[in-house]
């Protein structure tokens, strides 16, 4: 589901970028560490490319594939990431069915990043299935998500457009990860009384995953 004009402007604003660089990125690194040197990463919903830039510069990925449903966002990301053209591949498409141009084969990524995108997807579990498919065993899924509690608030209802049904709480999101063999353990935090959930999950060899600990 595409973001409306208000949310598109917000996610590209200086305050949002500040939060992403100086709070979310350090928190995710503290929870899950950095991908291995020379890693290949995937970003779900790259928007204007600021998250992709952080994955290269702060998380140290060697190469980033990024996908976005909105072709206008892909064009903006291409302009932002022009200096990294040899390390980035951008493609228009869905996080639930990654485009062939990304060469997203089974177990092909060391890390997958979700900077607040999956709550926009009506069939969000399909996006998690695709994430598991392309992650290597031991690969990391870095996520920063907005939950049903926040989406039901007056501010979100008035300003933004989101799927009306099958929204997830922090607990439901973590449970869905664990059911798919993404082990969270104690690498997850909730914020603002459950409105937001951040964490890092590891792809296990099988379908078993560990317990949850939320703050």
pTM > 0.85 = yes
How far is CA 128 from each of CA 119, 121, 204, rounded to the nearest angstrom?
Answer: 11, 11, 14
pLDDT in tens, 136-159: 999 999 999 999 999 999 999 999
Residue 44 confidence class, pLDDT cut points 50, 70, 90: very high
Contact 6, 160 (CB under 8 A): yes
Contact 112, 81 (CB under 8 A): no
Task: Give the 3-state secondary structure of residue 64.
Answer: strand
Residue 206 confidence class, pLDDT cut points 50, 70, 90: low
Find the DSSP H helices in the chain: 5-11, 14-19, 25-32, 50-57, 71-80, 124-134, 148-151, 154-159, 170-179
Architecture of domain 5-203: 3-Layer(aba) Sandwich (3.40)
Spell out the domain ranges in the chain.
Answer: 5-203
**Tokens 């009506």 — which residue?**
122
Q: Which of 132, 83, 70, 86 is nearest to 106 (CA)?
A: 132
């Amino acid at each position: 589901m595409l973001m409306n004009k208000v949310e598109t402007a917000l996610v590209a604003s200086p305050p949002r970028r500040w939060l992403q660089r100086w709070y979310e990125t350090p928190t995710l690194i503290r929870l899950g560490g950095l991908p291995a040197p020379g890693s290949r990463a995937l970003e779900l919903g790259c928007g204007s490319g600021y998250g992709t830039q952080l994955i290269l510069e702060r998380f140290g990925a060697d190469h980033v594939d990024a996908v976005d449903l909105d072709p206008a966002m892909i064009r903006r990301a291409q302009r932002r990431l022009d200096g990294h053209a040899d390390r980035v591949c951008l493609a228009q498409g869905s996080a639930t069915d990654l485009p062939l141009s990304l060469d997203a084969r089974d177990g092909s990524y060391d890390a997958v990043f979700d900077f607040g995108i999956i709550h926009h997807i009506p069939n969000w579990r399909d996006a998690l299935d695709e994430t598991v498919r392309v992650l290597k065993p031991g690969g990391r899924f870095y996520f920063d998500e907005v939950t049903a509690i926040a989406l039901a608030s007056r501010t979100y209802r008035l300003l933004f457009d989101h799927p009306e049904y099958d929204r997830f709480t922090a607990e439901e999101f973590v449970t869905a990860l664990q059911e798919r063999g993404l082990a969270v353990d104690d690498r997850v935090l909730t914020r603002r009384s459950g409105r937001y959930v951040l964490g890092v999950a590891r792809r296990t060899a099988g379908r078993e995953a560990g317990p949850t600990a939320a703050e």
